[in-house]
Structure 1
Amino acid sequence: MSFTYPEVGATRDGGPLPSGYHHARVRERVGHGRAAFTAVVEGVLTFGLHRGSGLRVESSEPRAAQGVRVTSTMAGLLRIPCEVVWVLDENRRGGFGYGTLPGHPARGEESFVAELDDHDDVWFTVTAFSRPGAWYARLGGPLTRAAQAVATRRYVTSARRLAASASDG
Structure 2
Amino acid sequence: MRRQNFTDDTVDYAAVGATQAPDLMQYPPEHSVPAEDAWRIGSGEERFAAASELLLSWAPLRSGDLSISDVRPASGGGYSGVGFDAEGAPVAPSSLEPEQRFAADGTPFVSPGAGVRLHGKVDGHRADAELRVISVFEEPRRVGFILGTVGHSIVSGEELFVVEWRDNDEVWFVVRAFDRPTVPSYRLFASRLRRRRRALFSQYLRAISPLYTS
4+ runs deviating over 6 angstroms: none
* Residues 89-129 of structure 1 deviation map (CA, whole Å, 9 limit, x = unaligned): 11100010111112121111001100001121101100001
The structure, 1 or 2, with the larger RCO (C-alpha pairs under 8 Å, 6+ apart) is: 1
Task: Tell me the secondary structure at the aligned position of residue 161 of structure 2.
Answer: strand
Partners of 1:154 and 1:103 in 2: how far apart? Answer: 21
1:3 is matched with: 11
Q: Which runs of 5+ in 1 are unaligned?
A: 165-169
Q: RMSD of the TM alignment (CA)?
A: 2.2
Alignment coverage as a number of residue pairs: 162
Instruction: Pick closer, same or farther for the CA change 1:69–1:136 going to 2, 3 Å.
Output: farther
Kindly tell me: are residues 142 and 158 of structure 1, through their superposed partners in 2, closer, same or farther at Cα, counting changes over 3 Å? same
Partner of 2:23: 16
Code of the aligned partner of 1:154: Q
Partner of 1:64: 110
1:53-132 mapped onto 2 (5 Å cutoff): 53-58=64-69, 59-61=71-73, 62-75=108-121, 79-132=128-181
Structure with greater helix percent: 1
Percent identity of the aligned residues?
30
Partner-residue secondary structure (3-state), 1:101: strand
CA contact (8 A) 2:121 2:128 kept: no
- TM-score, structure 1 as length reference: 0.85
| TM-score normalised by the chain length of structure 2 | 0.69
Contact kept, 8 Å, 2:35 with 2:197, in 1: the verdict is no
- CA shift for structure 1 position 63: 1.1
